[in-house]
Amino acid sequence: MASYETLEIERDADRPEVLRVWLNRPERRNAVNDRMMLEVGDLFLSLQTDFTTRVVVLGGRGLSFCAGADRKPDDRPLPDAVSERERRFRVHLGRRASRAIEDCEIPVVGRIQGHASGGGCVWAVSCDFRVATADAVFWYPEIELGVPLSWAATPRLIQEIGTARARQMVMLCERVTGETGERWGLVHEAVAPDDLDASVERWVERIIAMPDPALHMTKTQFRGYSRLFAQGDVSEADGDQIELARRTPGVKERFAAPIKRA
């Protein structure tokens, strides 16, 4: 398997069918930069031809699953784009990574603690199953920052929790704890922090216990149904939209300013 700068990849020694993918920038609470988006997309796309793995666990090293967009200077930037087409490709890296998680042929369990903010929340919702600490925080801050939510996140969230709750989270930037998320259907199980790994293991074991071909066929069925749900989805252009929004007067200042905590 390829090596990555922002991810840590582990395969269980006694269960090679279990692959653990860690967002690995703990010093920045796994905040998302271009390199991480590129690597998450590359990794999950590569799993389409991984016939050993039967379950993927996606987690974050350190205090948080993922704190969203990295607002500090990039410590691991990608090389400069060499063409307009490459620059546009970069704009769509987040949507590409989210869809790669969602479309992965292998069931994906999200292991969420601390914050799952912005892009981190999108990646969590892209997982098939989500296990979180009761005090974890799911949050889309984009509207507060003056930009629309992108990465095809809105139709995906609507499908998971319904339009009313999705509107509440996206339009009002409401912070949702793991405990509340369990009631809303955003989280499959919310547990005490000390019980997180044991709970994730229960979900892993449940998945492994299922007949692999039937489980695989059923996951692809769900993927097909989600495509029907998203007909008319404008997410193919949402990277362009957010790039335009960032050029709106005042948006850069909002990104630079501290976010008010609830």
What are the φ/ψ torsions at residue 119 (nearest 5 degrees)?
Answer: -60, -30
pLDDT digits (tens, 9 = 90+) for 52-91: 999 999 999 999 999 999 989 998 899 999 999 999 999 9
Domain ranges of the chain: 7-194+212-256
pLDDT digits (tens, 9 = 90+) for 150-170: 998 999 999 999 999 999 999
- Whether residue 29 is predicted with pLDDT greater than 90 in this model: the reply is yes
Protein fold of 7-194+212-256:
2-enoyl-CoA Hydratase; Chain A, domain 1 (3.90.226)
Residue 222, C-beta contacts closer than 8 angstroms, at least 6 positions apart: none
Report the alpha-carbon distance of residue 185 to residue 233 in Å, rounded: 22
Which residue is listed with tokens 């709106």?
Answer: 248
Output the pTM of the full model: 0.88
Q: Of 11-25, 40-54, 165-179, 236-250, which range is least confident?
A: 236-250
Residue 153, C-beta contacts closer than 8 angstroms, at least 6 positions apart: 98, 121, 122, 125, 140, 170
